[in-house]
Amino acid sequence: MCCFSRPVQSVTATNIFARPAGEGRQFLVYSMTLKAKEDLAMVLPLPVKAGSGENAVTFIDLQGYANFFDDLESGFDLRDYLKSNGFASAGLAKHKLEVVQVGNFEASYVPTVNDFARLDERFRLPPGTWEKLPVYRNYGFAVFKLRPGAAKIHPMSFSFPRADASSLFFPTVHIHDGKVHAKATFDHLLYCQGGSEEEFAMHGWKESPTLVKSFVKVDKAKGLVDGERHCYRKQLTGSLPNQDTRVARV
């Protein structure tokens, strides 16, 4: 789910990368182009393993690799070229949540829905939002504080302990206006490592023709990618069911 604490004018060109991180954890990288009139926060609900505590999420600074997704996409441009030539609220807590600087962002991890009361009001979702989304009752939340204006957001990255270590999670539900709609307009590219070839083929993912190390700067990616494996991509565009995306058997 990608949701915002204040109305936004537009959100386009969303890119998400996911990979198992070992010990039941998952890497997630998220980027988009955003236009907004005021300070706000982007909230990403995460299916975090129960009892993980307030330090469950480890934020990773990718400010030095702002073109991470450009490089990922370049690996699939090659495949397209070959094909064309005949070859995817409770009470207030006693203390504030920790805020960390991650590149251009201030980021916080909110361990439960009730803990949103510990954030500045500008960075909470409208009252009643979570009651409409009971599936997220037991989730944790990565919160990134964003500035007003129009900008391409450099990749936001972190790892978290998965509640279900057999699947990878992509937060693709939309809440851009404080409301939950059955369908939403998607402009997403999803990238993944770690699933089975059978699973990817069954659900319309495309495989990179070469190993990731041939098109991603592995040394700048801070362990997020496995350079010795291929990457898979799936495009989500147009009006689609407003739901998160998962890849099983990882």
> What letter represents residue 94's amino acid?
K
On average, the pLDDT of the chain sits at 84
Rounded Cα distance between 36 and 15, Å, is 18
CB atoms within 10 A of CB 126: 14
Rounded Cα distance between 224 and 58, Å, is 12
Q: Could you name the CATH architecture of 2-248?
A: Sandwich (2.60)
Rounded Cα distance between 148 and 177, Å, is 16
Q: Is 84 helix (H, G, I), strand (E, B) or coil?
A: helix
Rounded Cα distance between 210 and 189, Å, is 19
Report residue 207 CA to chain centroid gap: 20
pLDDT given at position 150: 54
Q: Is 82 helix (H, G, I), strand (E, B) or coil?
A: helix
What are the tokens at 245? 């995306």
> What letter represents residue 140's amino acid?
G
Rounded Cα distance between 70 and 146, Å, is 22
What are the tokens at 211? 């190993």
**Residue bearing tokens 């995817």:** 88
Residue 240 has pLDDT above 50, yes or no: yes
pLDDT given at position 95: 63
Model confidence over 95-134: pLDDT tens digits? 677 777 786 778 899 999 888 888 877 777 777 777 777 8
220 compared with 147, residue with greater pLDDT:
220
